[in-house]
């Protein structure tokens, strides 16, 4: 395969729906290997069964986020970075398993809740070092994007801290897998300041602005959307039991 997609995922009511949608997208992409990393102490039966039935080439990993780094229900979502140890587990697997002599490899970090245009994967397939493109529906803007002048990235169209070296969302870039082997220590950090996750990772890879390859027609097309799924309510579950004497069947997997 030449595209390796790393996806952190965690158990919640909407997980199987998210993974179903994402897997159906990935099924349309040739030469793709999915590295799905659960934020959990064990590989859960739900995800294990899901992957077995998925018809994808995949690797199933798991690593738990320690309690003190987890968001609580009342925390604002920007307080702590998410998916950090899971992406790092994916990177470690690639460093152990990617063989550069078998051809080129491209690594993309695809969160389980975003929406991906299939053309995005063809844009990233020929990544020399780092490819970049706009991301829709993010940063409380219609989109965020790299600013491109004469084919080069010169800065960032983003409201929030545009002075960051790489002011992009996770969905906005892909890297050549050889970079991981060359920069064997590069990884995501749990200790970044707000909005620093992507920028500090790319910095740890030894990347400079000059290395960035603008894609998606000079960064003018939106091929990925930072969609977020509404939390589903279960408020009628208990009321069902009280009013009708019978609630939902726990044996039915949702």
Binding partner selected for residue 82 from Mn ion, ligand UGA, none, CB under the kind-specific 5 to 8 Å limit: ligand UGA
Q: Are 173 and 134 in contact (CB under 8 A)?
A: no
Give 112 or 123: the residue with its C-beta nearer to ligand UGA: 112
197 binds ligand UGA (CB under 6 A): yes
Q: Residue 144 and residue 160: Cα distance in Å, rounded?
A: 10
201 binds ligand UGA (CB under 6 A): no
Closest distance to ligand UGA from the beta carbon of 35 (Å): 12
Candidates 38, 123, 144, 198; catalytic one? 198
Q: Could you tell me the maximum CA-CA distance found in the chain, to the nearest angstrom?
A: 68
Closest to 18 (Cα-Cα) out of 169, 222, 228:
228
Which residues share a beta bridge with 107? Answer: 4, 175
Closest distance to ligand UGA from the beta carbon of 197 (Å): 5
Stretch that binds ligand UGA, among 2-10, 19-27, 115-123, 206-214 (CB under 6 A): 2-10
Site for ligand UGA in 107-126 (CB under 6 A): 111-113
Residue 56-85 contact track with ligand UGA, rule CB under 6 A, x = bound: ---------x----x------x---xxx--
200 binds ligand UGA (CB under 6 A): no
86 binds ligand UGA (CB under 6 A): yes
Whether 198 is catalytic: yes
Q: Are 134 and 219 in contact (CB under 8 A)?
A: yes
- Residues at the interface with Mn ion (CB under 5 A): 111, 113
Q: Calculate the CA dihedral of residues 35, 33, 178, 95 and round it to 10 degrees.
A: 40
Closest distance to ligand UGA from the beta carbon of 79 (Å): 9
Q: Are 156 and 147 in contact (CB under 8 A)?
A: yes
9 binds ligand UGA (CB under 6 A): yes
The structure tokens 């799905």 sit at 36
Q: At what angle do helices 45-52 and 15-26 cross, to 10 degrees?
A: 20
Return the H-helix or E-strand segment holding 154: strand 152-157
Binding partner selected for residue 83 from Mn ion, ligand UGA, none, CB under the kind-specific 5 to 8 Å limit: ligand UGA
Q: Residue 117 and residue 40: Cα distance in Å, rounded?
A: 29
Which residues share a beta bridge with 106? Answer: 3, 176
Residues in touch with ligand UGA (CB under 6 A): 7-10, 39, 65, 70, 77, 81-83, 86, 111-113, 169-170, 197, 226, 228
Give catalytic residues, as residue numbers.
Answer: 198
């Amino acid at each position: 395969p030449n595209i390796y997609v790393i996806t952190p995922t965690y158990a919640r009511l909407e997980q199987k729906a998210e993974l179903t949608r994402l897997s159906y997208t990935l099924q349309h992409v040739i030469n793709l290997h999915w590295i799905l990393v659960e934020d959990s102490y064990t590989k859960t039966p739900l995800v294990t069964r899901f992957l077995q039935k998925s018809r994808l080439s995949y690797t199933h990993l798991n690593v738990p986020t320690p309690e003190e780094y987890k968001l609580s229900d009342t925390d604002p979502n920007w307080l702590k970075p998410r998916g950090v140890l899971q992406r790092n587990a994916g990177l470690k697997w690639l460093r152990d398993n990617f063989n550069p002599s078998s051809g080129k490899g491209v690594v993309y970090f695809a969160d389980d809740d975003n929406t991906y245009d299939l053309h995005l994967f063809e844009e990233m397939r020929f990544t020399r070092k780092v490819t970049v493109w706009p991301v829709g529906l993010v940063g409380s803007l219609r989109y965020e994007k790299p600013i491109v002048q004469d084919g080069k990235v010169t800065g960032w169209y983003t409201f929030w801290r545009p002075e960051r070296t790489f002011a992009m969302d996770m969905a906005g870039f892909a890297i050549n897998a050889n970079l991981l082997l060359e920069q064997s220590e590069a990884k995501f950090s749990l200790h970044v300041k707000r909005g620093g996750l992507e920028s500090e990772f790319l910095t740890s890879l030894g990347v400079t602005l000059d290395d960035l390859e603008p894609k998606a027609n000079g960064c003018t097309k939106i091929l990925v959307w930072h969609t977020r799924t509404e939390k589903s309510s279960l408020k009628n579950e208990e009321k069902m039991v009280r009013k009708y004497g019978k609630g939902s069947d726990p044996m039915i997997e949702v």
